[in-house]
Structure 1
Amino acid sequence: MPSFVSEELALAYEVHGAGHPVLCIHGFASSGKVNWVDTGWVKTLTDAGYQAITLDNRGHGRSDKPHDPDFYTPQAMARDAINLLDHLGHETAVLLGYSMGARIAAFAGFSHPQRVDCAVLGGMGMNLVNGLSDGNDIISGLLAPSLEELTHPTARQFRIFADHTKSDRQALAACMETSRAPMARADVRRINSPVLVAVGEDDEMAGAPEPLAALLPDGEAFVIPRRDHMRATGDPKFKAAALEFIGRHLRSNANL
């Protein structure tokens, strides 16, 4: 995989296809491959005529993995996304994020509005503002000596996922400490790009999509039927809604 340097960290990425760029930002304990290639998102985007750019966030995949929580604020990780656009020579892009990646996309949309055509926030509803209540349990689960002693369901879920992706669990624990920082309501109201908020009907981690969409100046909500947080990622209805939203807003931008 190619890599680039963002704030002294080497971050891995891949570019798939040609067309208008869609920067895909993965969720916690995942990677560009697991979140976007293995779920069929890259094929969906490239078949639709877009260039899909997958990034391994700091602490994940083949990117550098510092163990200091100060490296993992959403503001810092949002800068990585914008720095990758700079590295590739893209003035603007669509941002597609899932869970933690959606939080990163939101912070990027707030801090660099001129770089974002539109954004899709998957697996992240009102908890963008409210924060993640299970974060400390997840950290404990990641650092526990073994899975067998874990009883908290969310902690077990993420520990299993981290082991499956062969992640650096100490880096993930550091990431969880600071990357879950909530966004202020006033800042959400200042994200001017069109945003689709897509959350699974049975997702208990993300928070409801409708109130977050209502806070956004140009927000829309989509409920992914019969999906929880983990199973919504590659859902065909989610993909269809995202493609319709992206296409509609890119056509609108082209007509301005």
Structure 2
Amino acid sequence: MDHFSHEGFDLAFLDQPPVVAGSGAPVLMIHGFASSHFVNWVSPGWFKTLTEAGYRAIAFDNRGHGLTSKSYDEADYTPSKMAGDAVALLDHLGIERAHVMGYSMGARVSAFLALAAPERVATLVFGGLGIGMVDGVGDWDPIADALLAADPETITHRRGKSFRAFADQTRSDKRALAACIATSRELLSEDDMARITQPTLVAVGTTDDIGGSAAELAALMPNAESFDIEGRDHMLAVGDRTFKKRVLEFYAEHPL
């Protein structure tokens, strides 16, 4: 892992060149809540998939996650600030424009990035987050309580229990994640989505009860299409082979 600094955070990132001849176009990947570059992008095979298809694969650990430094201040975790980290990484690497792919919280950060710095974003892939980007899809407030619970056996909220188990599995800083979940869920309006004009692929698992409809979100955007990741829930959709295949097709259809 390499590192760079932005707004007082030491951010860890991975940058791998293509392993075969290809365009070498950069793909910046932004992971989801309580995850990391490794959990979302390395372990499920995205780095292998992209570099073997001739792309430059780049991912970083969001502030409060993975090998990046942590904060316990909720104000540090707005999607706008995390999108600023992504721009700072592109600056650090001297990349003017990239394909941007985000999963779950990372999809939301990617949308904020496209609105704040549209000239830096060639295409977008929103994985694991559909209309939930606009309407929120469900009750997230108990997740912070679950993350901070002294005894995980006392957690009764189903989604809270699931995210606590995921945070424990990834050995995350649960206090930092509790701060993050408080402010990283900022919603975008329908008008916001209509202002995102880059070619966009919205992909959500058909058994995902978190992300909301991919088709409904794509319908709000002028240049978007949806893709159903068949039989996959929120946790498993990210590594699905049909999702990877569709993303490669999408990049071929919209070269940098």
TM-score range, shorter chain: over 0.9
Counterpart of 2:8, as a letter, is E
Aligned pairs for 1:61-140 within 5 A = 61-140=66-145
Counterpart of 1:195, as a letter, is T
Counterpart of 1:122, as a letter, is G
2:145, 2:173 → 1: CA distance?
14
For residues 62 and 25 of structure 1, do their structure 2 counterparts lie closer, same or farther at Cα, with a shift above 3 Å needed?
Answer: same
**Deviation at residue 131 of structure 1 after TM alignment:** 1.8
Q: Give the structure 1 partner of residue 233 of structure 2.
A: 228
**Deviation at residue 91 of structure 1 after TM alignment:** 0.3
Counterpart of 1:9, as a letter, is F
CA deviations over 1:63-97 (Å, ceiling 9, x no partner)? 01100000000010011111100100000000011
Tell me the SS of whatever aligns to 2:254: helix
Counterpart of 1:160, as a letter, is A
Counterpart of 1:34, as a letter, is V
Counterpart of 2:102, as a letter, is G
The equivalent position to 1:151 in structure 2, one of 133, 148, 156, is 156
Q: Give the structure 2 partner of residue 17 of structure 1.
A: 17
The question of whether the paired residues in 2 share the 8 Å contact of 1:6 and 1:83 is answered with: yes
- For structure 2, the 5+ residue unaligned runs are 19-23
**Deviation at residue 137 of structure 1 after TM alignment:** 1.3
The question of whether the paired residues in 2 share the 8 Å contact of 1:99 and 1:122 is answered with: yes
1:190, 1:74 → 2: CA distance?
17
The equivalent position to 1:249 in structure 2, one of 243, 250, 254, is 254
The question of whether the paired residues in 1 share the 8 Å contact of 2:126 and 2:200 is answered with: yes
CA deviations over 1:203-225 (Å, ceiling 9, x no partner)? 11001011110111101000000
Instruction: Check if 1:8 corresponds to 2:41.
Output: no
- Runs of 4+ residues deviating >3 angstroms: none
1:55, 1:163 → 2: CA distance?
20
CA deviations over 1:7-59 (Å, ceiling 9, x no partner)? 12111001012311100100000100111000011100001000110110000
2:155, 2:216 → 1: CA distance?
33
2:140, 2:11 → 1: CA distance?
25
Q: Give the structure 1 partner of residue 37 of structure 2.
A: 32
The question of whether the paired residues in 2 share the 8 Å contact of 1:132 and 1:180 is answered with: no
Counterpart of 1:23, as a letter, is L
2:78, 2:205 → 1: CA distance?
25
**Deviation at residue 111 of structure 1 after TM alignment:** 1.1
CA deviations over 1:113-134 (Å, ceiling 9, x no partner)? 1111101000000010012533
Instruction: Check if 1:208 corresponds to 2:213.
Output: yes
Tell me the SS of whatever aligns to 1:3: strand
- For structure 1, the 5+ residue unaligned runs are none
**Deviation at residue 161 of structure 1 after TM alignment:** 0.5
The equivalent position to 1:52 in structure 2, one of 57, 67, 71, is 57
2:207, 2:201 → 1: CA distance?
18
Tell me the SS of whatever aligns to 1:233: helix
1:59, 1:242 → 2: CA distance?
28
Counterpart of 2:233, as a letter, is D
- Please report the RMSD computed on the Cα atoms of aligned residues, expressed in angstroms: 0.9
2:57, 2:167 → 1: CA distance?
24
The question of whether the paired residues in 2 share the 8 Å contact of 1:24 and 1:97 is answered with: yes
For residues 174 and 132 of structure 1, do their structure 2 counterparts lie closer, same or farther at Cα, with a shift above 3 Å needed?
Answer: farther
2:236, 2:38 → 1: CA distance?
16
Tell me the SS of whatever aligns to 1:217: coil
The question of whether the paired residues in 2 share the 8 Å contact of 1:24 and 1:95 is answered with: yes
The question of whether the paired residues in 1 share the 8 Å contact of 2:137 and 2:212 is answered with: no
Identity percentage over the alignment? 51
**Deviation at residue 232 of structure 1 after TM alignment:** 0.5
Tell me the SS of whatever aligns to 1:58: coil
The question of whether the paired residues in 2 share the 8 Å contact of 1:99 and 1:124 is answered with: yes
